[in-house]
Amino acid sequence: MLILTQLFSGKAQKSPFSKYPVYTGTDLGISYTPQRSVFKIWAPTARAAELRLYHSGTGQHLAVTVPMVKSKNGTWVTTVFTDQKNKFYTFRVNINGTWSDEITDPYVKAVGVNGKRGAVVDMKDTNPLNWEKDRSPVLKNPADAVIYELHVRDASLHNSAGIKHKGKFSGLAETGTLTPDGNRSTGLDHIKDLGVTHVHLLPSYDYNSVDESNPEAGYNWGYDPLHYNVPEGSYASNPYEPTVRILEFKQLVQAFHQQGIGIIMDVVYNHTALTEKSNFNQLVPGYYYRQDKGGKFSNATACGNETASERPMFRKFMLESLLYWVNEYHIDGFRFDLMGVHDIETMNLISRELHKIKPDILLYGEGWTAGASPLPDSLRALKANAAKLDRIAVFSDDLRDGIKGSVFEHADRGFASGKPAMEESIKFGVVASCPHPQVDYKKINYSKAPWAASPANTVSYCECHDNHVLFDKLAISASTATVIEREQMQRLALSIVLTSQGISFLHAGTEFMRSKKGVENSYNSPDSINAIDWTLKSLHPGLNGYVKELISMRKKHPAFRLQTADAIARFIRFSALTIPGTIAFEIDGKAAGDEWSKIMVCYNGTPADAEIPLTGKWEKYIHENNRVIADPQSDVPGSKEVNKLKIASYSCSVLYQQ
């Protein structure tokens, strides 16, 4: 049951719409049984409303128009006392004497092709075999997560994927798929072998930009929401049949859970694809969106509108939508697009309610906006306010651009590609944006103070779907470097991510040097740019194996996954004797409960070999100069007491004491 005193109290009432009634029930949309279907919408300013029932999802097959009756707290309702299963429906409302377009309800959970009409389905018909036995993998602590960001279509479309159902939910659920040489796994098997704990799916709800009847004609990442509670039809084998997309998405979740991998959904509650013509705005004009001082739609998203999470009925919608995905689809986490648009109170309410039903759920988002918002910065879920967020992480752009260079300046290099004076930004990333006495905050690229209350507040990464992928960024900014040097830079960059504290995050294909052919913002680029070329895995087996071993090391050793800011400040010590362009730090493994009593991590971001000063006797390597030691138990150079460690250009080495 929702905490209604929190949901509908406080600052949320301070708006021109504060006099609108608030509906506290949880039955908006459709409630179906074979005996009756109850249709309910919230439209407090409407003078009349009607339900229109259809025999199909397209065409002029109107069965009947049913007047709706005004009910409590701004709702309109009608009940149909016959079995409406497999029927389609729309609504119209009359506001100020004018009828709206035929629209779906925001709460709709099944639709026909391209979402033109809602669909009446029995959700029990959408469950895969043994769905009731489906169980999510257990995540003990957020920092244990290694997240792999993936677009459904990208992963399965290329011929080299060896996947039958290309570009579909069911394609990503296939197993036994191989590269053309027959030697290397692709798709789900590859992800399982890599060792990540969670897959982050780019938007997989019903979005607006791709024609579901002809998905090959267009491509989009999907950050243009149409229906928040329905899977995307272009990823289904039959977008005309409403139950198919639901079943196949559940089968995908089930397939990953069977491999011990959690599913995170990328959600975009900060704006809608349509503005004036959205179902939200046609039902209740203006209410669901913020306005600027002139009364126009404000635009902190740079997409034409921004939603008003602080208003009770949109706060309610967000929470109920997220609860629905967890309960109906067994989702394990959410990534919030432009989370800085949303207010802190709403985000913390969401976190508390989701954690009640799924204690290990992962929640994180972008701690920024794409423009100014009328809601004050102090109230929004920005990176600067991360410590005020309850079990919600934000992305560290400090570490991202510290590693590879500014995403806004294409030619800019970062620490991993030889840019001087980036050491403090990297150290800040290593400690997951938490307070540390050895970090000089004046020298960090963006933040000038720690912003994380704990490592669970920080997502450590160097690339994602936005901006250039790492390979392309290095090709542009380090164009004079050799191909071999750029691969070493890529290894160093990924080493930094996976040896830093916080929640680790990788972009799909980075482990074998995926390229988007230099395209920076590929949100609507063709498949020839976005589809993952799995032959690259055969071309770069060493890099793929290296990343796999880094993930394995991280998962085996809690010293890389400290749980508190205090532990980070006490257990990590940076060397004060390193030369510019190099970093070395020691982790007190014994204090962290690790089987390694001490761990030394060394980075060299310069184009020349360097020497790292060491104190004490370091007996073993696990990684040396961007390569895995085949048998770390055997004697290796450095097993005797040494004063300096030689480390190659653009490389990482990890030593330990048993």
Give the Å distances, CA to CA, from 229 to 151, 239, 327, 364: 18, 15, 12, 19
Alpha-helix residue ranges (DSSP H) falling in 500-564: 527-530, 535-539, 541-556
* Cα separation, 240 vs 178, whole angstroms: 31
| Catalytic choice (337, 397, 423, 619) | 337
* Cα separation, 244 vs 240, whole angstroms: 8
- What tokens does 647 get? 């480390």
Give the Å distances, CA to CA, from 586 to 142, 423, 600, 613: 23, 16, 4, 12
Picking from 639, 606, 601, the residue whose alpha carbon sits closest to that of residue 620 is: 639
DSSP code per residue over 233-276: GGGSS-TTSHHHHHHHHHHHHHHHHHTT-EEEEEE-TT--S-ST
**At residue 551, what are phi and psi to the nearest 5 degrees?**
-60, -45
Give the Å distances, CA to CA, from 602 to 612, 645, 647: 7, 9, 8
Residue 329, CA atoms < 13 Å, CB-side half-sphere = 29
| Catalytic choice (149, 332, 343, 366) | 366
* Cα separation, 434 vs 361, whole angstroms: 22
Radius of gyration of the chain (CA): 26
Q: Can 366 be counted among the known catalytic residues? A: yes
Q: Can 337 be counted among the known catalytic residues? A: yes
Give the Å distances, CA to CA, from 325 to 25, 86, 239, 320, 354: 18, 22, 20, 9, 10
User: By the 8 A CB rule, do 30 and 39 touch?
Assistant: yes
Residue count (the chain): 658
- Amino acid at the residue 307: T
Q: Where on the phi/psi map is residue 232: left (φ > 0), alpha (ψ -120 to 50), or beta?
A: beta
146-150 and 198-201 as β-strands: parallel, antiparallel, unpaired? Answer: parallel
Question: Looking at the annotation, which residues are catalytic?
Answer: 337, 366
